[in-house]
Amino acid sequence: MDPNSIVTPLVSQKLNNLGWKPMKKIEETLLDSIEYYEKAGLVQDVEGSPCRLPHLFHFASDK
């Protein structure tokens, strides 16, 4: 970690100490979110502008 970074890292240690456990892996949660946004029409390609989502997400969501 960069000690000069102004970005606070996301950690769940305090939540884990309280007994919280994630229901899904972060990758699955991200894919679910992307699928939802695509179905809602929020991630549509505009003619002349490529989609901003990496193709990796599209391939992973097809599985």
- 15-42 pLDDT tens trace: 889 998 989 998 899 889 888 887 887 7
Q: Is 3 a domain residue? A: no
User: Which structure tokens are listed for 61?
Assistant: 């969501």
- Pair 43, 51: CB distance under 8 Å: yes
Residue 48's domain spans which residues? 13-61
Q: Is 18 a domain residue? A: yes
pTM of the model: 0.48
Q: Is 17 a domain residue? A: yes
CB neighbours of residue 2 within 10 Å = 7
User: What confidence score (pLDDT) does residue 6 get?
Assistant: 79
pLDDT higher than 90, residue 44: no
Q: Is 47 a domain residue? A: yes
User: What confidence score (pLDDT) does residue 52 get?
Assistant: 64
Domain count, the chain: 1
User: What confidence score (pLDDT) does residue 61 get?
Assistant: 53
